[in-house]
Amino acid sequence: MARTALVTGSAGFIGYFTSKALLAQGWNVVGLDAMTDYYDVELKNRRHEMLMQSAGFSVVNARLETPNLLRDLFEKHQFDAVIHLAAQAGVRYSIEAPRSYVESNLVGTFELLEAARAFPPAHMLLASTSSVYGANTQMPYTENDKVDTQMSFYAATKKATEVMAHSYAHLYHLPITMFRFFTVYGPWGRPDMAHFMFTKAIIEGDPIKIYNHGKMKRDFTYIDDLVRGIVALIDAVPPMPDAGVEPITGDSLSSVAPHRAVNIGTGSPVQLLDFVQAIETAIGIDAQKIFMDIQPGDVPATWAEASLLKALTGEAPVTPIETGIQSFVDWYRDYYQV
């Protein structure tokens, strides 16, 4: 019998590809998305249209924070897995509109946890971010690092969801995995993401802004690699503390709850200017560059220690930056006919 998953944020960049991968494996997927106008809604509609070509996919267009909405969904479907990707994203936008982060990231996640308390799934997987590592300078970031110095309100809300999830895992024995994403990119990405903005500007002959004068490094993770990790983690269920299971080396498994955090990144950070060069090469045009100071809330570098993901799932991100960027640029030219 096919298993059923709830994917929140199913019309989003990561939610679309995660839903697509689950459907390909024979899952039934209930996709929930509020279709907010933070970026081009048409892009979200197109993603959902493609998913709806599968008989195993159904859609709920609503906000996470709607009282009792999620509880009713959990009761109706008795989900085997919940993959919570819906969130108000963006480090810089959280300076402009912090309330939207409270409503979506905090209240929305609370409603999800309450629904799971009433109708527990076998495993919940909630999206966090590499931004929770904040001002940490010791790299690569490991899941057991202390994460108390968030640099943006976005990161603060994501840290809060990790702590909320841990409390529910402890109190109600809900197996929960938090995955921390590292700068995801690829086709169908969000228009506010660097690879999207750089590609658009270069093709249109506009200059691009290079922050921190190019002294930035990111652990860029290609979307296909990320999704393989997410899907593989579904069956890597954190055990109960009294189950007698010995944590693997470097595990972030809680001592008092079936809860762990897992980095999903390549473990190989790329210089920002090398990332830009990969885009220039894929497009065949040199960028006009304006060098700027670092923006508020940004961090100069991210770098994942990815061995826990490999140990739990056998998966590890492998796509070279040049391959991933070429795939994105090809999609961009085809989608926008440029």
Q: Which residues are catalytic?
A: 154
Taking the C-alpha atoms of residue 14 and residue 10, their distance in angstroms, rounded to an integer, is: 8
Cβ distance 81 to 3 under 8 Å?
A: yes
Distances (CA, A) of 222 to 135, 147, 179, 319: 24, 25, 15, 6
User: What stretches of the chain adopt beta strand conformation (E)?
Assistant: 4-8, 28-33, 57-61, 81-84, 123-129, 176-181, 184-185, 208-210, 217-218, 221-222, 259-264, 270-271, 289-291
Distances (CA, A) of 111 to 25, 65, 80, 84, 132: 28, 6, 18, 12, 22
Cβ distance 254 to 167 under 8 Å?
A: no
Closest residue by Cα to residue 132 from 154, 112, 165, 110: 154
Cβ distance 33 to 11 under 8 Å?
A: yes
Residues with Cβ within 8 Å of residue 311, at least 6 apart in sequence: 248, 249, 250, 251
